[in-house]
Structure 1
Amino acid sequence: MGRGRLRIYLGAAPGVGKTYAMLAEGARRLARGTDVVVGYVETHDRPKTAGLVKGLEVVPRKAMSYRGTAFTELDVDAVIARAPQVALVDELAHTNVPGGRNDKRWQDVEAILDAGIDVITTVNVQHLESVNDVVEQITGVPQRETVPDEVVRRADQVELVDMTPEALRRRMAHGNIYAPEKIDAALGNYFRVGNLTALRELALLWLAGKVDDQLDRYRADHDIQRTWEARERVVVALTGGPEGDTLIRRAARIADRGKGADLLAVHVTRSDGLTDADPANLTRQRALVESLGGTYHQVVGTNVPDAVLDFARGVNATQLVLGASRRGRVAQIFSRGVGVTTTARSGPIDVHLVTHEEVNQGRRWKALRSAWGVPAKRRNAGFVLAAVLLSLLTLVLDQARGTVSLTSDILIFQAAVIGVALVGGLYPALFAAITGSLLLNYYFTPPLHTFTVHAPEAFFQLVVYVVVGVTVSTIVDLTARRSRQVAQAQTDSQILSTLAGDILRGDSATGRDRRALVEIMERLRETFALETVTLLERGPGEPVAHRGPGSWLVAASVGGAPCTSPDKGESDVLIDDTLALVLRGRALPASDRRVLEAFAAQAAVALRHQRLAEAAEQVRPLAAADKMRTALLNAVSHDLRTPLASAKAAVDSLRSPDVSWSEEDQDELVATAAASLDRLDRLVANLLDMSRLQAGSLGMSLRKVAAEDAVPRALADVADADVELRIPEGLPEMVADPALLERVLVNLIANAVRYNPAGTPVLVTASAHAERLELRVIDRGPGISPEDRDRVFEPFQRLGDRDNHTGVGLGLALSRGLTEAMGGSMRIEETPGGGLTMVLDLPTRQPEDAGPAMLDRAAAWRDPIGAEQGERL
């Protein structure tokens, strides 16, 4: 019999219904006449799940005993002996009781599959080996039972069983997953909305990877080379030239026309390490691609069209964007170029040839001169060596005439030509070859002392000498030049790699707090042993062509005294119309220009990032202060005047000589005045505390506080509060300021009582989680819409007040500020079944920066523009 087929229901989280889906599939197959048995299923006392089991044949479990306790496990031998067509086996990641056939249930399933029986099973995403540690970091709950990813990837079918976090929490609240006594603890710990959302994303990403693997495997099994347009992918090929910006923007527009299309940029590096690409251009173009939502890739290949097409086919690209050829018209006669060649071989991939300013420009004369390879000094030395060496050889061989044959003379001269090529390059070697042929003809070829050759053999020897000399000289010069280029390329790569690593790590000899701009400039100064590196910025209003001393401002400088204009240094790089990098200390050779331009491009990016960050920091407090002042004036204009007016009216009534008040009326007026003044006192106290929080001057005394002590004290300050406490015993103590904590709890409980329906108590629970303690204040009121949940923590916000004439909306804002000042956090969750849950999260371990420093950690909260500031702490 062949191996059975494996179908897996992958659950995004516990309780989403994977076991129910497995049993429902088994029931459908049974109804179609398939022989189906239940090998092992765990219903967890869920009625609907247990109801599906009743209609299926169940193979008896194997009874086992371990350390005096009875267990039941999957009986693999009984299932194989029963030999059904399909076996249903729950909980693939389960660890068996020691002493059984296998250690893990997935090994039991493998044995059943090997027996030719199809298996339908279940597993949750948190049990996959590859994401096990990630799940523990997210949920704080270690998963000891795991299954290798390869086992699940080998499955013939994997179906995701998913549910939104809100729907799953409602199922939990309705008692469809756990027993009632476990619901609150589960909702407050593992089944948080954030945890469930993260688990859901992990499951979707993992399954998407398996789907891609299945598609790649299918294409490989069926030898499918053509592109399948399952998803639009646009690839743009970059040469490192200035036209790359145009190509990237064109490719981005093409990708935008297809919703959800991927944008990928690729640069082909030659396998010999030699390239004409400009690192500065590639750095800028990589940043441009990533800013447009694309990705940058670099591949190695000897043939550019083949490398580009291999990459495009490898990523299943549907469109390819290339630039029109930069080569001159003469060069295009001898070779079609990369664009034309790639288009001819692209097959089903659509190719866009984009014109640009560099089309048909060819290679400039300066670039050709730099390609000659050897410096002028070496070329001059080669010419001198050729003249001296050939003269000496002519004298020596002329003295040895008669003892050395013409063939030997030619070989000796040939060796001299190779030596000249090694020293001076191609052109001195060509000079040596031609001059040597003339000397051989004049001094050693009969008739002597003439340029006439009578013997055909001698003439042939001289011709071969010249051809061989030119050929060998060309090869030797090319090899020497390539070796130097490779060495230079390796040096440049090491420098740029070090630069990138330093920027990412933030390493520096003077500490980790130095800015990226200074890091780049300091690295440049050290690399090339320079005295000063200065980044200049053109002054406002200065013409672009002006390079004089008065037209530049120093943006940054390292080393000695900064240069004040580009003409003050030995080398300079104009980054753009407004920025220039100036070097002083020594002149850099042209071979270092590429690396220098890469440093300059990175410095410009770092400067712009620094300016943006500085501008954002300057604007943020101004906007925050303006919003605070506006809101405060609006609040003061009404909410502070109302209790003051009530108190003044009561006092004026008591002082009125025209009315004779009874003792009962006088008590009522005094009570009204006192209540109004108390309310006014609370409002002023909240405003003062808010000001202290924003100024960072609120005093605190952090110490251990038990939840069972803090909550009852807060309840004593909430009049007529119908509150139910569910605080388990043995919880760790939280670190907080007792007085501030009590104020926070009073605000939260009073707010919940205010909105809770009459006759329904407010529920206060506590739970510990990963060195944190959570206090949850749960009401059954109308709740708050998701889009307003962040606004409720902003000062002077009153969303959906039943009585909009009380309070300035500082209660929750102040509570969150106090909580974050103590090193905690506050958030809002929806109560399953309706209502609002306020979650107060505080540490259970004394932080290292406890005390005044804790206020600095709450500095982000001082910006009332965005309530998400507290989430960043």
Structure 2
Amino acid sequence: MPDSERDAKGRPDPDALLALAAQDRRGKLTVFLGAAPGVGKTYAMLSRARRLKDDGVDIVVGLVETHGRSETAALIDGLEILPRRDVNHRGRMLSEFDLDAALARRPRIIVVDELAHSNPAESRHPKRYQDVEELIAAGIDVWTALNIQHLESLSDIVAQITGVPVRERVPDTVLKRADDVLLVDLSPAELIERLKEGKVYLPDSAQRAVDRFFRLGNLTALRELALRRTADRVDDQMVDYLKQNAIEGIWASGERLLVCIGSDPLSEKVVRTASRLAEGLNAPWIVVFIERADRESGDGEDVRRLDETFRLAEQLGAETRRIIGNDFVEEILKLARREHATQIVIGARRQPFPMRLFRQSLPDALAERVSGIGIHLVTDRETVPVKRRTKMKRTLPPGSGRAIGIAAGSVVVSTAVGLLLGRFVVLPNISLLYLLAVLASATYAGHIAAIAAALFSVLAYNFFFIKPTGTFTIAEPHEVFALVVFLAAAALAGSLASRVREQAKTARQRAAATQALYDFSRKLSGTAKADDVLWAAVTQMQSTLKRSSALLLPEDGDLQLKAAWPPDTELDVTDIMAARWAMDKREPAGNGTGTLPNSPFHFRPLTSPHGVVGVCGFVQADKPLEINEERALAAILDQTAIAVDRARLSRESLDQAAKLEGERFRAALLSSISHDLRTPLATITGAVTSLRQLGDRMPPESRDDLLQSIEEEGGRLTRFVANLLDMTRIEAGTVNAKRDWVDVADVVRAAVDRARKYFPEREIETSIAPDLPLMRGDSVLLGQVLFNLLDNANKYGGEEPISIYARTDSNEIVLSVTDLGKGIPPRDLEQVFEKFFRRGKADGRTPGTGLGLSIAKGFVEAMGGQIKAESPALRRRGTRISMRFPAAKAEISEKDRA
């Protein structure tokens, strides 16, 4: 045996280990299961709770129904009881289980009786088992009690056995997910005896219960159901244990069921039967509905019944599918092969004799073509002929009267045309006019009109054109044959024409839906902002569903309404709670679900590949979506989720880019600071140390040189700190340039004098136009700009002189600083004014901090001017940085000039 195979055999099942890990994070559910009321479930539960309480376990009684039984009530003494909440339900005050109080108290174990109880409409969940599921999800262990007749898959069997319908039902998945199922058993004879003694119900109620429900045969059958279901649960636990511990043994069979349903009432029974079969076989099962591609969806009643059947299947633990196709048998077999189904469960109705002659039933056609797969037929208890006439009348399609009227009108027109033409010419093929009437009726009014037109045409043709005319008598035998052939041809042609009409109509509808989704997709693809995406999605939903719609996104730790149509749509507290539930639990909530169904909105999570990005809500008002609406909504939600996720990722990308840019600037600043601070500080420190150590022993010339070095490096530090402060002011937007009269010539001379003081070895040439006007600006900022430009030219301008020009050009003052260095590459001209951008010298060093030109640009723009760099400047070398300012047009008074 290969090593890999040997290792695989000794390795635990991964799915089983994942399920075990998930159980460790949740609370544990213990179900005390009984065959009928009165077997002692609550008594056994409270007895065990008292023992744990005595051992110091934190256990609380959330709710217990004693039903007046003194023995049960006595067990509650000494246990902590959670206060109930009062609910006004239809004018009556009810004491119900307080879910929020239980979550706030958060005990280790809580006892919640009557698992199948229905909550009032004002509650968060319509069923108590959903309250229990929320407690378990919060990490709280729950003990509860349940009778076997309340299981969803057994409710119809219990109704058959006892004759009493079961209204309170619990999905089988609740019992299947329970960590422990404790069977509380009592023989039927003992239970009946307890009932007669008044230990189960009050005497009046007890007598009615004995007469109706608590019969020996009923209790025996219910006991058998409870024992079987408990045995199945024990078998499941054993298989899970074997998988988790990699123990070889007898494994569950590989059965897999495929259940076929329709929109008829029999489908509910098919689903319940398949659930029991799957439970007994420990097999997964898939429920499938096949819709014709060339026909429209059924009427509202059929759609509603189909949705209810799907919800029932999901509650019982099935996987549901919807498939489009025309060949039902081929689609069923294709799905069965793809899903490795071993058995097919399908409903079978008894067909009337004439229908069996012309049409093969789906189960018969499936049995002929299937191979290697078992077929289970579920039949209806009712016989077919009981309500045949009523059913035919009830199922007559709407608009049939109009269709028959169109058929009659087309036949009348054809007869009139035929009689009119018969007066002038002999027409041996007059029947073609009636065939035209049948085709026209089928094209404009469908198959009912085609059939009616064919029948009317036969009668009219016989009465007006077959001898003897004026009667329905046929004299010649060949006329009878011709009439039968005509009827068959007319019916066939009308059927084909009506089918083409239906297919064209369906194709137009689907093309319109596809075009709408395509337009919506294009609109989303060109939208980058999340708000635009939401408004596009909500308007598309409203136009598709014709219902009020809303979209919510998480913001600051809570859901916020971001878009709604109509725009004045508001959500109350219940609606917001349902939306939060859909967001947190990643499942539908609100109207039509098991969570807060009293909300008019139905909420669904917007799920993207990166998780839930928001919640969509639309007004359902107890009117479920039709199949086509459901498909369109699913497509809209998927595209919206992807677009919202894309907008979020785009925003995060921009934020990340900004952070990276900030990190780059910060790194450049630290690099600049470390270099430009270290150099002058080292020079100053070395000069001061030399002066302190040598003192008067140094020659005066050396001391002067050291003091001059301290002065120069101190000036460099001052300029560096000033640049940092100026850059901070520009970044913060606090540069407030003055609007005083400025003599540009004076500012230029002052800047040149200052530059010659800091780098006296550099030659600076100035050229100032004699008619240079004044300007409105800030002389201090302008002087700092000129000094920064001179400093930059000194660093990168080589050994040639630096030139400053000041002149006028079209009512503008132009200032330029030109050096004759190696110049700036064309690719860097747009970057020289960015922060921390520096050009290296020929020797590889990169002087300066890269802030001078950036500060100059900020100051110039603050004074309303423009600045740009040009390279080469002169003789194919050098750099010129030019500034333009608007010249002053107002007259200057003597006071202003002074």
TM-score clears 0.5: no
Q: Shorter-chain-normalised TM-score: which range?
A: 0.3 to 0.5
TM-score, normalisation: structure 2: 0.39
Q: TM (normalized to structure 1)?
A: 0.40
Please say which structure displays the higher CA radius of gyration: 2
